[in-house]
Amino acid sequence: MVATIKPLLLAFSIMLLGLVLAIKADDDLTTDIGSKRYLIKIGKKLNWFQANHACTRAGMTLASIESETEQKNLRDYLYAQGHLTDGFWLSGNNLNDKDVFTWLSSGNKLSYTSWKSGQPDSTALGNPEYCTVTDSDFKWTTGHCTNPTITNYYICSRPLVPNCGITGRCKINRGFYY
């Protein structure tokens, strides 16, 4: 009987360990800061386009940081959660105009910036394949977004209150307002 129980116990232990590791790997953070809800993806690193697609599937967009207050609040939140040193993709990029960084989510030029000293890297200007990624102090740097092997964690966001147009009525389905 003991010989039968040991393999079962071992199999159960391995299964339980796998479950714990799977839960830990998908240990993403969600928080509301200001007028936005953020989904901070720390379970798996993706390239910039995959991260954008994952945010879209969640009914969100890659985050656009539009003020010093928003930057500080996100930085403080990540610090409190022990994830400040992780690199995160944001929606800023120069894919449309090689000399101008814009937010993917709105198409607007970056009016507020928190670039690390020396950024955007001079090689980023004039080269249409750079996107914003945070460094270990949550300052912005440029990262190759068209290189599928360059991966980072990422931050998705959406407004807490949607802009529902002139009717003022909208419904939510899987995170999307319509």
Domain tally, the chain: 1
Which of 45-49, 70-74, 89-93, 173-177 is predicted with the least confidence, judged by mean pLDDT? 173-177
CATH of the domain at 108: 3.10.100.10
Q: Residue 105: inside a domain, yes or no?
A: yes
Whether the CB-CB separation of 127 and 117 falls below 8 Å is answered with no
In sequence order, the β-bridge partners of residue 93 are: 102, 131
Q: Residue 15: inside a domain, yes or no?
A: no
Whether the CB-CB separation of 111 and 100 falls below 8 Å is answered with no
Q: What's the whole-number mean pLDDT along residues 55-61?
A: 94
Contacts of 75 (CB under 8 A, 6+ apart): 84, 137, 138
> Which has more pLDDT, 146 or 36?
36
Q: Residue 13: inside a domain, yes or no?
A: no
Most confident of 20-24, 89-93, 118-122: 89-93
Contacts of 33 (CB under 8 A, 6+ apart): 70, 73, 74, 77
Most confident of 16-20, 25-29, 31-35, 94-98: 31-35
Q: Please give the residue range of the domain that contains residue 104.
A: 27-160+168-177
Q: What are phi and psi of 38, to 5 degrees?
A: -115, 140
Q: Residue 79: inside a domain, yes or no?
A: yes
Per-residue model confidence as pLDDT tens digits over 35-51 = 999 999 998 999 999 99
Quickly tell me which residue has 């007028």 as its tokens. 35
Quickly tell me which residue has 């800023």 as its tokens. 92
Q: Residue 2: inside a domain, yes or no?
A: no
Q: What's the whole-number mean pLDDT along residues 132-152?
A: 91
Residue 39 is encoded by which pair of tokens?
Answer: 């989904």
Q: Please tell me the distance from the alpha carbon of residue 149 to that of residue 152, in angstroms, as a whole number.
A: 10
In sequence order, the β-bridge partners of residue 40 are: 29, 155
Q: Residue 4: inside a domain, yes or no?
A: no
Q: Residue 11: inside a domain, yes or no?
A: no
Distance of CA 78 to CAs 16, 66, 131, Å?
29, 17, 20
Q: Residue 6: inside a domain, yes or no?
A: no
